[in-house]
Amino acid sequence: MEYSVIILAAGQGKRMYSALPKVLHKIAGKPILAHMISAAKAIAKDNVYVVYGHGGEQVREQLQAEKVHWVLQEELLGTGHAVLQVLPLIPDDHQILTLVGDCPLIKQQTLQNVLKQTCNNSIGVVTADFPNPHGLGRIIRDAENNVTNIVEERDATAEQQKICEINSGIITAPAKLLKEWLPQLKNHNAQEEYYLTDIIAMAAANQHPIHAVKAQKHYEVHGINTRKQLAELERFYQLEQAENFMLQGVTLADPNRFDVRGDVEIGQDTEVDINVIFSGKVRVGKNCRIGPNCELKDVSIADNVEIKANCILDDAIIGNACVIGPYARVRPGTELADEVKLGNFVEIKKTRIAEKSKVPHLSYIGDAIIGREVNVGAGTITCNYDGVNKRQTIIEDGAFIGSDTQLIAPVTIGKNAYIGSGATISKDAPADKLTICKKQQVVVEDWQPPKK
Contact status: 291 vs ligand UD1 (CB under 6 A):
no
| Among positions 3, 4, 5, 9, the unique one binding ligand UD1 when judged by CB under 6 A | 9
The C-alpha atoms of residue 172 and residue 95 are separated, in whole angstroms, by: 7
Nearer to Ca ion, 225 or 287 (CB): 225
Q: How many residues bind ligand UD1 (CB under 6 A)?
A: 27
Q: CA dist 422 to 170, 305, 405, Å?
A: 68, 32, 5
Residue 122 CB, shortest distance to ligand UD1, in Å, is 19
Binding partner of residue 73 among ligand UD1, Ca ion, none, CB under 5 to 8 Å per kind? ligand UD1
CB under 5 to 8 A by kind: which of ligand UD1, Ca ion, none does 78 bind? ligand UD1
Please report the DSSP string for 385-444 in residue order. B-SS-B--EEE-TT-EE-TT-EEESSEEE-TT-EE-TT-EE-SPBPTTSEE---------
Q: How far is the CB of 364 from Ca ion (least distance, A)?
A: 50
At 450, the amino acid letter reads P
Tell me which stretch binds Ca ion (CB under 5 A): 107-115, 151-159, 215-223, 414-422.
215-223
Q: How far is the CB of 164 from ligand UD1 (least distance, A)?
A: 12
Compute how many residues bind Ca ion; rule: CB under 5 A: 1
Host H or E run for residue 111: helix 108-117
Q: Are 200 and 150 in contact (CB under 8 A)?
A: yes
361 catalytic residue (yes or no): yes
Residue 178, CA distances (Å) to 75, 174, 259 in order: 20, 6, 41
85 and 51 Cβ atoms separated by less than 8 Å: yes
By CB under 6 A, residue 414 contacts ligand UD1:
no
Q: Which is nearer to ligand UD1, 136 or 210 (CB)?
A: 136
- Selected from 81, 211, 329, 358, the binder of ligand UD1 by CB under 6 A is 81
Within 13 Å, how many C-alpha atoms sit on residue 342's CB side? 37
* Single residue of 37, 77, 147, 230 touching ligand UD1 by CB under 6 A: 77
The single-letter DSSP state of residue 303 is T
Which residues are 213's β-sheet partners? 126
Q: How many residues does this entry show for the chain?
A: 452
Going by C-beta distance under 8 Å and a sequence separation of 6 or more, which residues neighbour residue 369?
A: 351, 352, 392, 393, 394, 395
Q: At residue 103, what is the residue type?
A: C
Chosen residue from 78, 366, 371, 414 binding ligand UD1 by CB under 6 A: 78
Q: Alpha-carbon distance 418 to 406, whole Å?
A: 14
- 319 sits near ligand UD1 (criterion: CB under 6 A): no
Q: Does 133 bind Ca ion (CB under 5 A)?
A: no
Q: Is 320 in the site for ligand UD1 (CB under 6 A)?
A: no
Q: Tally the C-alpha atoms within 13 A of residue 8's C-alpha that lie toward its C-beta.
A: 26
Catalytic residue selected from 54, 69, 218, 361:
361
Task: Pick between residue 167 and residue 279 the one whose CB is nearest to ligand UD1.
Answer: 167
Contact 194, 77 (CB under 8 A): yes
Cβ proximity to Ca ion: between 223 and 267 the closer is 223
Residues between 243 and 282 that touch ligand UD1 (CB under 6 A):
none
Minimum CB distance to ligand UD1, residue 65 (Å): 21
Taking the complex as a whole, how short is the minimal distance between the CB of residue 102 and ligand UD1, in angstroms?
5
Distance of closest approach, residue 132 Cβ to ligand UD1, in angstroms: 13
* Distance (Å, whole) CA 416 – CA 159: 86
Residue 167 sits in the site that holds ligand UD1 (CB under 6 A): yes
Assign 296 to helix, strand or coil: strand
Q: How far is the CB of 367 from Ca ion (least distance, A)?
A: 51
Q: Is 11 in the site for ligand UD1 (CB under 6 A)?
A: yes
**203 part of the interface to ligand UD1, by CB under 6 A:** no
Residue 223 touching Ca ion (CB under 5 A): yes
**Residue 366: contacted member of Ca ion, ligand UD1, none (CB under 5 to 8 Å, by partner type):** none
Choices 170-178, 218-226, 295-303, 342-350 (CB under 5 A): range interacting with Ca ion = 218-226
CB 242, CB 255: distance < 8 Å: yes
Task: Decide if residue 25 touches ligand UD1 (CB under 6 A).
Answer: no
Instruction: Considering only CA atoms, give the Rg of the chain.
Output: 31
Fill in the DSSP letter of residue 326.
Answer: S
Give yes or no for a contact between 208 and 146, defined as CB atoms under 8 angstroms apart.
Answer: no
Selection from 145, 146, 149, 171 nearest residue 160 by Cα: 149
- Residues forming the active site: 361
Residues that bind Ca ion (CB under 5 A): 223
Residues that bind ligand UD1 (CB under 6 A): 8-11, 51, 73, 76-79, 81-82, 100-102, 136-137, 150, 152, 166-169, 195-197, 223
